[in-house]
Amino acid sequence: MGRRPFFRGRKSCPFSGEGAPKIDFRDTRLLGRYVSERGKIVPSRITTVSALKQRELAKAIKQARFLGLLPYVVK
């Protein structure tokens, strides 16, 4: 990387391709990675999740919140 020292290559969606984890509202360990310390859903531009998967992910997080598996807010 001589020319562009800070270029890190193309980002790719963690839920696409082979061996990608399935988005499941029960998997709090997985969902927790896409939630900020405040409990907010992290935008896909930061997490590189594709738009399709981000919608799926957001739904799963909201289902997990409803069931008390994830918090709505962390104060």
Partner 1 sequence: MPYYESVLIARQDLSNQQAEALAEKFAGVITNGGGKVAKTEYWGLKSLAYRIKKNRKGHYLQLTIDAPAATVQEMERQMRLNEDLLRHLTLRTDELDTEPSVMMQKPSRDDRPRRGGFERDDNFGGGFGGGFSDRGDA
Assign 41 to helix, strand or coil. strand
Other residues' Cβ atoms within 10 Å of the Cβ of residue 54? 21
The answer to whether 11 touches 49, Cβ cutoff 8 Å, is no
List the one residue from 2, 4, 5, 9 that touches partner 1 (CB under 8 A): 9
Q: How far is the CB of 2 from partner 1 (least distance, A)?
A: 16
Chain positions 15 to 74 lying near partner 1, rule: CB under 8 A, are: 24, 26-30, 32-39, 42, 46-48, 63, 65-72, 74
E strand or H helix at 42 = none
List contacts with partner 1 (CB under 8 A).
8-12, 14, 24, 26-30, 32-39, 42, 46-48, 63, 65-72, 74
